[in-house]
Structure 1
Amino acid sequence: MNAALGRSILKRTAVLRNYSSLREIIPPNIGHAARSGDVAAESTASALSSQDVSKVVSFYRNLPKGEVEAKTAGGGPFNRYYSRYIEGENASPAPILHVIGALLVGGYSIHYFMHLKHHKHAENH
């Protein structure tokens, strides 16, 4: 009985997942007009779709054309951190503060969990 219930729940979640992914593709006004089934709604749906198509066309016309500039700070998080805080004109004392903060957070968490480990059976602790 539980296995059948579990399968039906999995099927429902898969259906809902697919439904939500389709909802993201179809704009809400067009989808609502097409679902209502009225004759006026069909003309509204076609009018809305032509408006939406013109918006999409104007959006793509306004996009910049040409080559994309290469990113200077690529190659992973460590290279980005190095170029942001350590390299060249951007050099600052922030990495020292970051290390101190990481040591404080790490030390406090180790101390806290060791304290809990040694006092796990004590009352009011």
Structure 2
Amino acid sequence: QHTMSTILRRAYTTKALIPPNLAASRAAGGAKKDAARMGELVSFYKNLPKGSAPQVKPSGLVGRYKAKYFDGENSSATPVVHAILLIGGISYAIDYHFHLSTYHEIAPQERGTPLN
């Protein structure tokens, strides 16, 4: 049963302020390992490439389209025009398809075309 004052007294003792003895045999072996790991870490970061990454050329249809119309200073409203034309072309093709399918179901006499 510890009171709050005992817990606080133990937390603020001088043992917490004194650094560990690095010359101790147990700590010395650990320091060598830490130094070796730090050396590996430093060599890893030294081998990383410096500067900005090289520019990658876009590949594929979507990548080239994005690079041409969306990226950097090339951005414009052209993709909006392309989307309108694509939707208009698809709707025209669907309308034409259904027009032909219903037009051929009607007998020639009812179409208003002469019989030959």
Do both proteins adopt the same fold according to a TM-score greater than 0.5, normalized to the shorter chain?
no
> Structure 2 length as normaliser, TM-score?
0.43
Q: Which has the higher contact order (CA 8 A, sep 6+)?
A: 1
Specify which structure has the higher proportion of helix.
Answer: 1
> Structure 1 length as normaliser, TM-score?
0.40
